[in-house]
Chains A and B, each alone.
Chain A
Amino acid sequence: MTRTTQQLTFEEYLSYDDGTDVRCEWVDGELYPMTPASWGHKSIMRFLFLQFYLEIQRQGLGWEPYEDGLGVRTMQQRVRLPDLCIFQERPALARNEAAILTTPPLLVVEIVSPESISRDYRTKRSEYATFEITEYWIVDPLAQKVSILQLVEGFYDVREFTGQERIISPLFAELMLTANQILQGV
């Protein structure tokens, strides 16, 4: 993600339109266009979305999963577009309102790409914890591992899973998935 050089207010960010369909995150006033996801990235996103959706149905949890494009305003000056997020209940937004939420989702998934490593493992680790997102998954096809970060007293504890290891998610305690299944997106 390379950034443009303009400083935008939140209102300017909401109405920003450069004629392309490129979505942008907004960090400390600056726009960060999201580079197009790789096919692998998209496959993982879709696979996880379906797995979450099915598990939520199966358990009757009533939670709401959303794929990318949903904005989360983690700080006054930041709007992130997580690859996947799950809300406890359907957000109460008007239909014509910008899809940017200011309350924390239960869970967020980020899929690592070469230019997002520090951002996902470091910056967002502090940011999402402060915003009180209970569980944060970092799916890393580069390092071939899935990290599940659990919020405990305002800071994430991390557990890593690789290969055939079954991932352990505090929120989805009965979910049966291995790290490989997630990384392969099938």
Chain B
Amino acid sequence: MTQTTQQLTFEEYLSYDDGTDIRYEWVDGELYPMTPATRQHGRIIFYLARLLAGEIQRLGQAWELGLGDVGVQTTERRVRIPDLCVLTLEQAQVIENIAAILTTPPLLVVEIVSPESIRRDYRTKRSEYAAVGIPEYWIVDLLAQKISILQLEEGFYDVYEFTGQASLVSPTFAELTLRPDQILRGI
């Protein structure tokens, strides 16, 4: 993620349009374009979305999925766009017809690590997402071939790592059987 050099207010960020389809995170007033995801990333996101959507329907939960198109405001000057997030219908209704930026914490967010995002995903966002109260945060790491599930407990995440064929334990999706090797392959 390379940054542009302008300082934008929140309102300017909301209405920012440079004519491209590029989405931007907004961090301390500056725009950070989301570089196009690799085919590998896209495949993983679709795989997870399919599985989670199926489970949400099976459970009859009033939840929706955001796929890199829902912003989460983490501080007064930061809006993050997780690769995937689970939000309630109620939350979705608030952003139904306006810029899709949540000011309440989604139920779950997923980030897929890329070489330039390692420390941001494991460190910066680990503090930020915890501070705003996102109950569950997944870090999908192709480079290290592992999936970390961060569970929020008293405002801080405990990390549980899963590799290979181990069965993921997700508090939000307690009955779902998911394996890291399948997720990382995206099939």
Contacts and interface: CB of A to CB of B under 8 A. Distances in A.
27 contacts: A75-B75, A76-B76, A119-B155, A121-B156, A122-B154, A122-B155, A122-B156, A123-B156, A125-B155, A126-B127, A126-B131, A126-B156, A126-B157, A127-B131, A127-B155, A129-B127, A130-B75, A130-B127, A130-B131, A153-B119, A154-B125, A154-B126, A154-B127, A155-B122, A155-B124, A155-B126, A155-B127
Given A119-B154, A122-B156, A130-B131, A154 B124 contact: yes
B69 interface: no
Interface in B119-145: 119-120, 122-128, 130-131
B128 A118 contact: no
Given A126-B130, A130-B74, A153 B123 contact: yes
B133 to A, nearest CB: 9
Nearest to B155: A123
Nearest to B128: A130
How would you classify the secondary structure of chain A's contact residues: helix, strand, loop or mixed?
Answer: helix
B153 interface: yes
Contacts of B157: 126
Contacts of B154: 118-119, 122-123
Given A75-B131, A130-B131, A155 B155 contact: no
A36 B131 CA distance: 27
A125 B158 CA distance: 12
B130 to A, nearest CB: 4
Interface residues of A, number: 19
Nearest to A125: B156
Given A75-B75, A76-B76, A130-B75, A154 B155 contact: no
A127 B119 CA distance: 18
A152 B155 contact: no
A152 B130 contact: no
Nearest to B28: A132
Contacts of A76: 75-76
Interface in A33-76: 75-76
B17 to A, nearest CB: 26
Residue of A127, A131, A155 most packed against chain B (CB within 10 A):
A155
B19 to A, nearest CB: 32
A125 B74 CA distance: 15
A41 to B, nearest CB: 21
B157 to A, nearest CB: 8
Interface string B159-183: 0000000000000000000000000
A23 interface: no
Contact of A154 (B128, B153, B156): B128
Interface string B97-131: 00000000000000000000001101111111011
Interface in A147-165: 152-156
Contacts of A152: 123
A145 interface: no
Contacts of B124: 153-155
